[in-house]
Structure 1
Amino acid sequence: MTIVSPSTSPRRRTVFALSSFRLFGHRSGSDRSGPSASSNPSTASARSGWRRPPARGGRARWQAACVLVAAAALAFAAPADARKLRRHAHTPVALQLPASVTRALKRADVPLSSISVVVERIGDPTPLVALNAQTPMLPASTMKLVTTYAGLSVLGPDYRWRTSAYADGNLDPDGTLHGNLYIQGTGDPKLVPEELIDLVDKIRRAGITAIDGELVLDKRFFDPSTRDLPPFDDDAEAPYNVGPDPLLYAFKSLSFTLTPSPDGNVAIDVIPALAQLQIDNSLRASAGPCVGVDAALTPSVTPHRNGTVDALFSGDYPLRCGPRTINLAVLDHTAFFAGGFLALWRSAGGTFNGTTHEGPVPVGARLLAVHRGPVLTDIVRDINKFSNNVMARNLFLTIGAVVNKPPATPAKSRAVIERFLHTQALDMPELALENGSGLSREEHISAKSLADLLQHANASPVAQAFVASLPVAGVDGTMRNRLRSEPVFGNAHIKTGTLNDVRAIAGYVAADNGQSYVVVSFINDRHAAAARAAHDALLEWVYRGLR
């Protein structure tokens, strides 16, 4: 079990790993042996959300005050509201948003009807703040919390994807394979050059140095319907628009780094190398201010019938701009993986003169090598820290393929995740999952449901891996440039989310009063982009103990 705890210094953050035990099937806050428990009764009562009444006869006055507040509320309530208040008169009245938050919302021209907020103490699911808490909202990338928590729990923190190589035909003593080489993928989200070279080396150690046949890619682990999906928006070459694939390589994106030099040349480096990629560099380093550089940074990419791809850079590149990097998603997954694999194969001394196509590994093909990717804990960290959409989408489909057998489909994954949530008493009738990344206008969840999930995750066996995967305020990931000069610096693990008209935060805050809190807030409004200050103010307020 893991709880987020305040640091002794405002510029440090600590995650305490306590005993690990299973609370599946129970809401984490309903078991007082959970993260809010304490051997000190006064501490335990404070952490559970119950405040000890005043001493020396103050209990009667405290109870009388509660009755008067409830009676006054009933007197002014509509009949339906009165019945609701009577039913919950024993529960504490939720706090209102502080003035710092409401002022920031007003400056951004965001009405309270467009924001939902839930704040709870760790271990107690009774909201201290609840505004539009049950309203289904677009969560943007905070939906990754549902996918990653389900993935860690269903697959296990040590789950590893496998990418395998098979061969048929005969192998000559000189290392020539007279047959096909097959690469079978299972959706490894982080099959980058540093990982794929391991498979290349293992194939070489199996005795193969030349392939006198075809390169065949087996991509049956995901259903064909999951591929070649339309981009989320008009920026089709943006890396965040890359779709899932069983043989996802380097996020199907190229990083071009341009470096001007005083002699008038502009060096261009590209990662990863693709065998079919040819760079046509017509850039000139120029004098003057760093303006109008966008045209020089954006290449014209042209695929040819023979399989080669030209990337043309042209124009003036101001020397004062210094090195710049642009990331572009180009080609389809099959061409991108094949080009990346063959570039590594040839750089290792291997030869290949055949063609590439998709197809199944035939019965009887012999296994040559297996590359096992990073453990799921590391993958989840990358997904949540850096809000990687394509990695989240590959994980989402993997959950369905592993539990419900391949080929993966979104429907299989939805069924597995919803069943898992149900077994943990995390029923979310408003939950709508499309691809598990939040890059969607169809995915919805309420702030209360996500807060319940955060409570449950914090008391689960995978708590440490899950909490550690969230960006730390002012320190790393998508929170590295936020709240750096505020006391909450280093004391909040917060997943962020942004889309056009959507801004979201969800995670844990270790407050300066010794309490730890769950915080969830969604803003769905055309002015959401201007409301970041409101979310920052909310986190600062929670860190100050809601004072």
Structure 2
Amino acid sequence: MTHAFLPAFLHSLARRVALRSPSSPVADSLPRRFAARSAALLLTCAALGSGGAALPLTAQARIKTTHPSVNVTTVLPQPVMLGLQRAHVPLSSISVVVEKVGDRTPILALNAGKPMMPASTMKLVTTYSGLSILGPEYRWRTSAYADGTLDANGVLHGNLYIQGTGDPKLVPEELIDLVQKIHKAGINGIDGALVLDKRYFDASTRDLPPFDDDATAPYNVGPDPLLYAFKSLSFTLTPSPDGSVAIDVLPALSQLQIDNQMHAVNGPCRGDAAAVSPTVTPQPNGTVVASFDGDYSVRCGPRTINVAVLDHSAFFAGGFLALWQQTGGTFSGATREGPVPVGARLVATHQGPMLSDIVRDINKFSNNTMARNLFLTIGATEEKAPATPAKSARAIEDFLRRDSVDMQYLTLDNGSGLSRDEHVTALSLADLLQRANASPVAQVFVESLPIAGVDGTMRNRLTNQGAGGNAHIKTGTLRDVRAIAGYVASADGNSYVVVSLINDPHSEAARAAHDALLEWVYQGPSQGFTKVSDPIAEPRGSKPRKNPHKRGTH
């Protein structure tokens, strides 16, 4: 299809990298009941100090204060206990911390110091660190360089180099800016090579195995210095009464061809997206054919299928050349990877959206690929490119230590939570949420979190309860993992930090327990509790057990 930059494409791409559920538009405004208390979430509390002052009480001291022995008596709200019982989740599988904003002594703590898999609540660590280290106005740069000569017709007799720094949101609406700037520099044709400079991230960060068996799932797309449109295609199938099925695709790739053998038929709409997913096959001549075959019911209506295809370099090259040719550019060379030579001249630079916008997409839609690119960018900026996960983990841990956030059991892998090797304690996440709320980036950070009953991954939760519209909550989902972490503005005018991590084979059934916890906090944590025995964290120095089951995270 001819190029069309749909306004909704950018956000739908951001959502689909991590989510399996259908996308829905983000609400334009917050409910009135939330607006009345939103300022309370952003207050810089005197108890936390200001200007980077040391926090008044270490996490270890708080654990000792709250849990003086291995088995102590604490309390859980009765609705939460009921939700856990119905889900068959034992208390040993859940870790909970509730604190009033500005007071780091938990009013509710269960297994608070136990290392747990956090799923996508780990994005809180990455995004808060990124905002603090890089600044909310940080922008990624994607630059074009040229060597050789330019003739009177605007043909470059040499190579065009594209150098990436990991822009997480380089979608068609953004990349077209670079293409147009290259044209404005007088270049209309290229008879040399298109060379991709991807040295900003270490080669070890590329071609990583997928998290699970669904290799074409967009949430499995790994990081890349020249990440384009999340390396995913959106095919939209539209059946017609005449028996045809129209197939449109975004973004356009220069090497992509569609073989459409679909037939629209009458009858009930059955089957899932896999039944109409394409077979994508690279050809010897360099083209890529997406083949569709079979019957498609008219009653199904339009359906969009998202598929991750090709490798990052082939995907970026195809996307760039599609835009280049659509804007009148010519190209007769080959594409390859390589460094920008010392003598090449800069011809154009595109600056991506500000980090504040990126963080909003990462947290609202739980975008794994964007989070992984941000994670590596932190390592590249703090410890010099090329970025590696080890550099990034070290940079974040050093920052948190300087920021007086005690995260003794923090284990970082890729910064997105799409990992069985990332661990954190509920108490550590509570520390981070307290510090973030008292930091210079508080407003940007808090506003990036999904709002219960309104948007993001919380848009369909607590819609008819008091907590709806009054809770900024990051969710986390893996197989055997459910997690929530964020802030709740309660009916009594107070604001609370809430963290709950469940690691259990029955965790999927425990969503009601988490919703009950958020509603209980909204109503005011002075209601009834159910007494429970609170096993403290695993012994110091012990390693969390790995779980072999895997699934996408959000």
CA distance in 2, matches of 1:402, 1:425: 21
Tell me which of 182, 196, 215 is aligned to 2:175: 196
**Aligned position for 1:112:** 91
Q: Deviations over 1:71-106 (max 9, x none)?
A: xxxxxxxxxxxxx789979xxx98511111111111
2:384 paired with 1:405 = yes
Identify which range, 446-455 or 21-30, moves more after superposition. 21-30
Tell me which of 215, 218, 222 is aligned to 2:197: 218
2:334 paired with 1:334 = no
CA distance in 2, matches of 1:202, 1:536: 49
Identify which range, 153-162 or 288-297, moves more after superposition. 288-297
Q: Evaluate the alpha carbon distance shift between residue 287 and residue 314 of structure 1 in structure 2; reply closer, same or farther with a 3 A threshold.
A: same
**Aligned position for 2:13:** none
Query: Which amino acid counterpart does residue 142 of structure 1 have in structure 2?
Result: T
User: Residue 381 of structure 1: CA displacement?
Assistant: 0.3
Total equivalences in the alignment: 486
**Aligned position for 1:26:** 54
**Aligned position for 1:421:** 400
Q: Deviations over 1:334-362 (max 9, x none)?
A: 00000000000000000002110000000
Query: Which amino acid counterpart does residue 179 of structure 1 have in structure 2?
Result: G
User: Is contact 2:273–2:305 with CA below 8 Å preserved after alignment?
Assistant: no
CA distance in 2, matches of 1:533, 1:26: 37
Q: Evaluate the alpha carbon distance shift between residue 424 and residue 293 of structure 1 in structure 2; reply closer, same or farther with a 3 A threshold.
A: closer
Query: Which amino acid counterpart does residue 236 of structure 1 have in structure 2?
Result: A
Q: Evaluate the alpha carbon distance shift between residue 85 and residue 397 of structure 1 in structure 2; reply closer, same or farther with a 3 A threshold.
A: closer
Q: Deviations over 1:233-266 (max 9, x none)?
A: 0000000000000000000000111111111111
Q: Deviations over 1:459-493 (max 9, x none)?
A: 00000000000000000000001110111110000
Tell me which of 132, 138, 149 is aligned to 2:111: 132
User: Residue 285 of structure 1: CA displacement?
Assistant: 0.5
Q: Evaluate the alpha carbon distance shift between residue 248 and residue 473 of structure 1 in structure 2; reply closer, same or farther with a 3 A threshold.
A: same
**Aligned position for 1:245:** 224
**Aligned position for 2:33:** 9
TM-score between both structures, scaled by the size of structure 1 = 0.86
Identify which range, 448-457 or 255-264, moves more after superposition. 255-264
1:349 counterpart SS class: coil
TM-score between both structures, scaled by the size of structure 2 = 0.85
User: Is contact 2:81–2:513 with CA below 8 Å preserved after alignment?
Assistant: yes
Identify which range, 9-18 or 214-223, moves more after superposition. 9-18
Tell me which of 475, 484, 507 is aligned to 1:528: 507
User: Residue 330 of structure 1: CA displacement?
Assistant: 0.3
2:347 counterpart SS class: strand
Aligned pairs for 1:382-401 (under 5 A) are 382-401=361-380
CA distance in 2, matches of 1:419, 1:406: 18
**Aligned position for 1:56:** none
**Aligned position for 1:372:** 351
CA distance in 1, matches of 2:115, 2:65: 23
User: Residue 305 of structure 1: CA displacement?
Assistant: 2.0
Query: Which amino acid counterpart does residue 318 of structure 1 have in structure 2?
Result: S
Aligned pairs for 1:38-49 (under 5 A) are none
Tell me which of 260, 275, 300 is aligned to 2:239: 260
Q: Evaluate the alpha carbon distance shift between residue 475 and residue 95 of structure 1 in structure 2; reply closer, same or farther with a 3 A threshold.
A: farther
- The structure, 1 or 2, with the larger RCO (C-alpha pairs under 8 Å, 6+ apart) is 2
Q: Evaluate the alpha carbon distance shift between residue 327 and residue 406 of structure 1 in structure 2; reply closer, same or farther with a 3 A threshold.
A: same
**Aligned position for 2:454:** 475
CA distance in 2, matches of 1:188, 1:86: 43
Query: Which amino acid counterpart does residue 199 of structure 2 have in structure 1?
Result: R
2:491 counterpart SS class: coil
User: Residue 11 of structure 1: CA displacement?
Assistant: 8.8
Q: Deviations over 1:161-202 (max 9, x none)?
A: 000000000000110000000000000000000000000000
Aligned pairs for 1:141-290 (under 5 A) are 141-290=120-269
Query: Which amino acid counterpart does residue 240 of structure 2 have in structure 1?
Result: S
User: Residue 429 of structure 1: CA displacement?
Assistant: 1.6
CA distance in 2, matches of 1:475, 1:427: 32
Query: Which amino acid counterpart does residue 351 of structure 2 have in structure 1?
Result: R
**Aligned position for 1:72:** none
User: Residue 9 of structure 1: CA displacement?
Assistant: 2.8
Q: Evaluate the alpha carbon distance shift between residue 28 and residue 335 of structure 1 in structure 2; reply closer, same or farther with a 3 A threshold.
A: farther
User: Residue 120 of structure 1: CA displacement?
Assistant: 0.1
2:434 counterpart SS class: helix
CA distance in 1, matches of 2:142, 2:325: 19
User: Is contact 2:66–2:109 with CA below 8 Å preserved after alignment?
Assistant: no
Q: Deviations over 1:376-418 (max 9, x none)?
A: 0000000000000000000000000011110000111111100
User: Is contact 2:44–2:439 with CA below 8 Å preserved after alignment?
Assistant: no
| Gapped regions of structure 1 (runs ≥ 5) | 1-5, 31-83
CA distance in 2, matches of 1:86, 1:366: 62
User: Is contact 1:170–1:177 with CA below 8 Å preserved after alignment?
Assistant: yes
Tell me which of 353, 360, 377 is aligned to 2:332: 353
User: Is contact 1:94–1:129 with CA below 8 Å preserved after alignment?
Assistant: no
**Aligned position for 1:440:** 419
Query: Which amino acid counterpart does residue 533 of structure 1 have in structure 2?
Result: A
CA distance in 2, matches of 1:164, 1:8: 44
**Aligned position for 1:518:** 497
User: Residue 364 of structure 1: CA displacement?
Assistant: 0.8
CA distance in 1, matches of 2:43, 2:81: 37
Query: Which amino acid counterpart does residue 183 of structure 1 have in structure 2?
Result: I
User: Is contact 2:44–2:437 with CA below 8 Å preserved after alignment?
Assistant: no
User: Residue 444 of structure 1: CA displacement?
Assistant: 0.1
User: Residue 427 of structure 1: CA displacement?
Assistant: 2.5
Please tell me whether Structure 1 or Structure 2 has the larger radius of gyration of its CA atoms.
Answer: 1
**Aligned position for 1:323:** 302
Root-mean-square deviation over aligned CA pairs: 2.0
User: Residue 14 of structure 1: CA displacement?
Assistant: 2.7
Tell me which of 488, 491, 501 is aligned to 2:470: 491
Q: Evaluate the alpha carbon distance shift between residue 511 and residue 305 of structure 1 in structure 2; reply closer, same or farther with a 3 A threshold.
A: same
CA distance in 1, matches of 2:73, 2:39: 28
CA distance in 2, matches of 1:400, 1:387: 21
Q: Deviations over 1:105-158 (max 9, x none)?
A: 111110000000000000011000000000000000000000000000000110
